[in-house]
Structure 1
Amino acid sequence: MSHFYVVVENLKDWQPYYPTPDVITFDDYLQRVKESSKKRIRVINLCRDYRYLKTGYYCSLLAEARNHHVLPSVTTINNLGNKSLSKLLLDNTQKAMSSLPKGEEGETKTFRCWFGKTSEKSTVKLAQLIFEKLPSPLLEITLTFKHQWQIKQIKPLALKALTDPAEQEAFAQAFEQFSLQLWRKPKARKQYRYDMAILTNPDDPLPPSDPQALAQFVKAAKSLGISTEFITKKDYVRLAEFDALFIRETTSVDHHTYKFAKKAEAEGLVVIDDPTSILRCTNKVYLADLLNNHKVPTPKTLILSHATESNLKELATEIGFPMVLKIPDGSFSRGVIKVKDEQELDVEAKRLLAESSLLLAQEYMYTEYDWRIGVFNNKPLYASRYYMVQGHWQIYNHGEGETESGNFDTLPTYEAPKKVIDVALKATKLIGDGFYGVDLKQSGDKVVVIEVNDNPSIDSGVEDLFLGEQLYLEIMKEILRRLEEQGK
C-alpha cells in the first residue's frame, strides 16, 4: 500500500486541523532520503512559497527526484509562474465564466479554491476546471470583467493564509474528499490493505458490467482486503488517492478512459485496462495487422483507404460477397456493415470513409454463434457463446432507439473446444497480460479470431453463469496479486 505525506513549512500551519503523523515539515521530508524506493509514496506539498528555489519548489522537485507522486508537480508550479502559459491551458474555461453573474466594466472578483472545491457557489464549475488543468492544493483566482469575465491572475496560496474558520472547515472537507485515507479519524474508517477505483459511466447505454455484476466485484474485492469506490470522468484529478484502477466503462483511445488509464499508469497504480491494451485492442486496423503478422487465424481481411473503383474491384475479387466493412474503433457491433454486392460496397464504403480514414474489409463467415473466451493474465476464465439476433446476422442489432441482443450460454472453459481456447490465448499473448475477451468464430475445424476486446463484458447471469461469484473473485485475486507484487 502507498504512503501519504503532507509536507508543511511549519507544523503550526497545520494546527487548526486534525493531528496526524502523516503531516511532516519540509526539513523532516528532506532527511527521509532512505525511504524504500519500492513503496509508492504520495506527497501533498503545502509549503508556504512555491517560487523558484523557494522551499515549496524544492519540495516538489525532491519528490519527483525520489519518484514520489507530488501535488503540485514541478510542471504545475512552473505553469502557475508563467501567466501566458496558464491562460493557454485554461482556454476551455470560457463557458464556465460565461455562466457567472454579469459584472460591471472593470470590476474584479477574487475567490479561493482547495482541491478544486470552493465556497463561492457561482464559481464551482470554474474552480474544478482550473484544478484539472493546474492541480494544486490551494489556489487564489482573480477575475476581471471586460465585456465578459476573464481570468486576471491565478496564484498558489499558503495554508497559513486560511485564517477564516469557515475556510478552514471547507479546506478540511475538500481534503477529506480528495484523500479518504488521511482525513478520516481512525475509529471512523474501516482498514483495508488497498484502495481501488472502479471507473463507470452511469449513462452508458451498453456498459461492460450491469449493477449486479458491479456489486459482485465490490463484494469480491472487500473479501480480499481491497476497498472500492465508484468514480466517473469528473474524478480524474483524484486518481492518485488509489492503489488500483479498474475500468468498467467502454474504452476508446480518443476518450477519457484512455486518459484515465495513462494517468493511473504514470501514478504507479495497477490498471485494468492498461493503456497499451486499450491502444492495441480498440483499433481494429492495428489488431488485424498484428494478428496477421503473427499468423493468428482470422477471416481474410484487407485495409481500405480510398473507395476508388479499382480498390473496390480488388476487394470484390479478393474477398467476395457478402463482405463485412468495419470502422477501426467501433464497439458492440457499431460501425459494422454487411454488403451483398458491388453497389452496396460502393455506397457503404464511401459513407464509412467519410467518418474514418481507414476501413477494414473482411470475409463474411456465417455461424450460429460467436465464441467469447475471457482471459486474464493469459489464463482462460470463462467461455461464452453469443447467438445471433433472430433474423439478423450479428449478436447485436442496433434498432431505432434500442439495441437488441441474441441469446447466450456460458460453459466451463474445459468444455470449450481446445482449438478455440488455444487460438484465443495465442491472440491475447500478443496484446499483453491484461483482462481480455476474445471473439472467435468456429466452422468445423476452422477457428478464427474476429477481435480481441480489452474491456470485456461481465454481466450478472451471463459471463458468470457457470462460475458465479468465483468469477469475480478470480479477477480480484489477480488484481490483488499485482498489488502485492508491486509492493515487494
Structure 2
Amino acid sequence: MSRLVIVVEKASDWGSYYPSTDVVSAMDYLREPVGSDDERTHVVNLCRSYKYLGTGYYVSLLAEARGHKVIPSVRTVNDLRRRSLYGLDIDDLNQKLANFLPAGGRDTTDFGVLVYFGETAYEDLQDLARQIFEMFPCPLMRIEFERDRVWQVSSIKPVGLHTLDDAQEDAFAQALDKFSRKLWRKPKARRRFRYDIAMLVDPNESMPPSNKKALKHFIEAGKHLGIEVDPIGKNDYQRLAEYDGLFIRETTASDNHTYRFAHRAEKEGMVVMDDPTSILRCTNKIFLNDLMVARKLATPITEIIYRDDPRRVRDLPDRLGLPIVLKIPDGSFSRGVVKVETREALEKAAAELFSHSALLIAQEYLYTEFDWRIGVLNHEPLYACQYYMSRGHWQIYNHGAKGTAKSGGFRTVPVREAPAEVVKLALKATQTIGDGLYGVDLKQVGDKPVVIEVNDNPSIDAGVEDGYLGEDLYLRIMQEFLRRLELKRLGINT
C-alpha cells in the first residue's frame, strides 16, 4: 500500500484547507524515526523555501535517504537554483513563447505565471507549464517572462504555499487533488512485490520491439522474481515517480517521449533500460559510425554526405562503386534506407532523403543471405539470431510490400553456435555505448564480420529471439533489473 505525506513548514500554511492525516509539519517529518517500513511512501514537500541546508532542503534530502519518492527531489532543487542549468534546458521553449503569450500588453516588458503541478490558469501557456514541470518536477513554481526584442523565460522559482491568495489557493487545491489521484495508485488486491517496474509500451505501434506475447512473458518473469511489471503509456509521464525502474518497450528516438521518459527516470534515480545516453548514441547512425571508426571496428566502407555538397554525392560511385546504400541517421526497422543501382537513382534518392536530414550515410552494398543479430546485456552475449532477407527484397523488412511491412525468415541459435568472431565484434561494439540491453546487427562476408549498427531497445518477440532460451530469456533480463535494483537499494551506483 502507498502512503502519501504532504509536508508543510508551518501548520498555518495548511490553514485554508481541510484537515488531513496526510499533512505533517516539516519538523515532525524530519524527526520521524527511520525504520524498516515496507510501505511505499510518496512525499510532497511544500516547505516555504528549498534554500540549501534549510528546512525544505533537508525534507527532500532525508526523504531520498529514507527511500521515499519526493517532489521536488534534491536534484530538482539544485537545478532550479543553478540558473545556467535550466537556461540551457528551456532554450528550445523560448522560440515558442510568441505563440503562447496572450494578445495585447504591448507595453509590458515582464510578467509571471504560477504553475501548480504543471497546471496554470493561462490556457495558452498550459503546454509550456507542463513541459517545464516535466523538466523540474516542483509542486509550486512561478515562471517569469521578460521581453527585450523577443519574449523569453527569465527565471523559474519555487513558491511558498503561504504566499497564495484565495483564488490561487483554490487552483492549487484542485491541481494537488488531480496530481495525487493520477500519481499515487490506489492499492490493488494483489500480492506484495519487492519492486515495481514501469514498462513503457504503445499498443498502437505497427512494429513494436516486443509483441504482446513477449510483453506477457516479461510480466510473468518479473512476478517470478518478486517484481511487478506494470505496462504504461506516453500519457503516464507524471506517474514515473511511483516506480523503482523503467523498461522501455516501444521504439525509441531522441526527439520523442521515450527519451523524455528515460531522462526523467534517470534523474529520479530509477533503474532505466535503456538509459538516455544509450538512446542518444544508438538512434543516430552518424554518431555510431564515428564511434565504430574511432574504435577501429570493422564496418562497411562508409561516407557521410551533406546536403550542401552535391558534387560529393555525384562522385560517390567512383569511391564506393554501385550499388550504394543510403540511410537517414535515425531510421529504424529498415525504414529510411534505400539501395540505388545507378547514378540517376542515387541523385533522386539522395534528394528525397535530404528533405528529412541535412546529413546522410552512404555505404558500400554487401550482399548476404542473412544478418546476424547478437543480443547483449551488461556486456554479456544474451542471444543470437539470423534474420533472412524478405523474399524478393534486399532487406530484412520490405516496407514497399502491400499492406503491412513484410519480413524474412529467421533462425535463433545458441550463442555458442554463432561464429566466435561475430560475437566478439558485437561485444566490442557495445563497450563504448553502455551496459544496457542492445542488439548488434552484423554481416559476415566470408570469414570477415562487419558491424552494421547497434540498437538500443532491440526486438525481443515471442517466437523469434526467444527461440532457443524460451522463457529464460525474459527471466535473465528481469534478473538484471533485480540486480541493479538491489544495488540501488544498497546505495551502490550501477
Does TM, scored on the shorter chain, surpass 0.5?
yes
Q: Does 1:8 align with 2:13?
A: no
Q: Residue 300 of structure 1: CA displacement? A: 0.9
Residue 179 of structure 1: which of 184, 187, 193 is its match? 184
Q: 3-state SS of the aligned residue for 1:297?
A: coil
Cα shift at 1:428:
1.2
1:35 Cα deviation from its structure 2 partner: 9.9
State the distance in 2 between where 1:224 and 1:18 align: 37
Distance in 1 between the 2:94 and 2:191 partners? 39
Provide the residue aligned with 1:411 in structure 2: 413
Distance change >3 Å, CA 292–CA 76, structure 1 → 2: closer
The match for 1:300 is: 301
Gaps of 5+ in 2: 84-89, 103-113, 144-157
1:332-360: CA deviation from partner (whole Å, max 9, x where unpaired) = 11111111122222222232223212111
Aligned letter for 2:470?
Answer: G
For the structure 1 residues 89 and 276, does the alpha-carbon distance in structure 2 shift closer, same or farther, using more than 3 Å as the test?
closer
Q: Give, in angstroms, the shift of residue 63 of structure 1.
A: 2.3
Instruction: Assess if the C-alpha contact under 8 Å between 1:46 and 1:137 holds in 2.
Output: yes
1:367 aligns with 2:372: no
In the alignment, the residues of structure 1 paired with residue 416 and residue 135 of structure 2 have an alpha-carbon distance, to the nearest angstrom, of: 50
Give the secondary-structure state (helix, strand or coil) at the position aligned to 2:213: helix
Q: How has the CA–CA distance of structure 1 residues 176 and 93 changed in structure 2, closer, same or farther, with 3 Å as cutoff?
A: farther
Distance 2:94 2:162 in 1: 22
Shift, 1:28, TM fit: 3.1
- Within a 5 Å distance, the mapping from 1:427-446 to structure 2 comes to 427-446=429-448
Question: For the residues of structure 2 that align with 1:283 and 1:140, how far apart are their CA atoms?
Answer: 36
Q: What is the 5 A alignment of 1:28-427?
A: 28-31=28-31, 43-47=43-47, 49=48, 58-60=55-57, 63=60, 70-72=70-72, 73-74=76-77, 132=134, 135-137=137-139, 174-180=179-185, 184=186, 188=189, 190-306=191-307, 308=309, 310-399=311-400, 401-427=403-429
Q: Is the CA contact (8 Å cut-off) linking 2:7 and 2:29 kept in structure 1?
A: yes
Secondary structure, counterpart of 2:344 in structure 1 = helix
SS in 2 for 1:254: coil
Alpha carbons of structure 1 residues 130 and 414: separation in structure 2 relative to 1, 3 Å:
closer
Query: Residues of 2 paired with 1:359 and 1:60: CA distance?
Result: 48
- Unaligned 5+ segments in structure 1 are 80-85, 99-111, 142-153
State whether residues 114 and 174 of structure 1, in contact with CA within 8 Å, keep that contact through their aligned partners in structure 2: no
Asked if structure 2 preserves the Cα contact closer than 8 Å seen for 1:296 and 1:449, the reply is yes
Deviation sequence 1:379-399 (CA, Å, 0-9, x none)? 111111111111110001112
Residue 442 of structure 1 aligns to a residue whose secondary structure is strand
Given that residues 46 and 158 in structure 1 are in contact (C-alpha distance below 8 angstroms), is that contact kept between their aligned partners in structure 2? no
Deviation at 1:233, TM superposition (A): 1.8
Change (3 A) 1:427 1:4: farther
Letter in 2 for 1:261: A
CA drift at 1:158: 6.8
Shift in CA distance, 173/413, structure 1 to aligned 2, threshold 3 Å: same
Q: Which residue of 2 aligns with 1:27?
A: 27
In 2, Cα distance between equivalents of 1:276 and 1:125: 26
What letter corresponds to residue 463 of structure 2 in structure 1?
Answer: G
Aligned residues: 444
Whole-angstrom CA distance in 1 between matches of 2:177 and 2:379: 45
Secondary structure, in 3 states, of the residue corresponding to 1:431? coil
- Contact 2:325 2:338 (8 Å CA) reproduced: yes
Distance 1:409 1:17, change over 3 A: farther
Q: Which amino acid aligns with 2:26?
A: F
Native 8 Å contact 2:117 2:175 kept in 1: no
- Write the letter of the residue equivalent to 1:459: D
Q: Which residue of 2 aligns with 1:149?
A: none
Identical-pair percentage: 49
Cα distance, 1:402 vs. partner?
2.4
Cα 1:485–1:95 shift into 2, 3 Å:
same
* 3-state SS, counterpart of residue 337 of structure 1: strand
Residue 335 of structure 1 aligns with an amino acid whose one-letter code is: G
Give the superposition deviation at 1:54.
13
Residue 63 of structure 1 aligns with an amino acid whose one-letter code is: S
Q: Which deviates more, 389-398 or 232-241?
A: 232-241
- Secondary structure at the aligned position of 2:486 is classed as helix
Do the aligned residues in 1 keep the contact of 2:438 with 2:456 (CA within 8 Å)? yes
2:26–2:55: 8 Å Cα contact kept in structure 1? no
Deviation at 1:89, TM superposition (A): 6.9
The offset of 1:175, in angstroms, is 2.1
Query: Cα–Cα, structure 1 residues 97 and 211, in superposed 2: closer, same or farther, change >3 Å?
Result: farther
Q: With structure 1 as the length reference, what TM-score do the two structures score?
A: 0.76
Deviating more after overlay: 353-362 vs 59-68: 59-68
Report the Cα distance in structure 1 between the residues aligned to 2:164 and 2:229, rounded to whole angstroms.
34
Match of 1:481 in 2: 483
| TM-superposition CA deviations, 1:146-182 (whole Å, max 9, x none) | xxxxxxxx987579999x9xx98996675243123xx
After superposition, give the CA deviation of every residue in 1:6-39 in whole Å (9 maximum; x if it has no partner). Answer: 423467959968857xx64201344579999xxx
> Hey, what's the Cα distance between the residues in 2 that align with 1:430 and 1:348?
32
CA–CA distance in 2 between the matches of 1:451 and 1:445? 19
Q: Does the 8 Å CA contact 2:327/2:337 hold for their aligned counterparts?
A: yes
Q: Shift in Å at residue 211 of structure 1?
A: 1.2
In 2, Cα distance between equivalents of 1:293 and 1:127: 42
| Compared CA separation, residues 483 and 18, structure 1 to 2 (3 A) | farther
Q: Structure 1 67/140 Cα, relative in aligned 2: closer, same or farther at 3 Å? A: closer
Asked if the contact 1:76/1:135 (under 8 Å) is kept, the reply is no
CA 176–475 in structure 1, closer or farther in 2 if over 3 Å, else same: same
Q: Secondary structure at the match of 2:204?
A: coil
Moved more, 318-327 or 61-70: 61-70
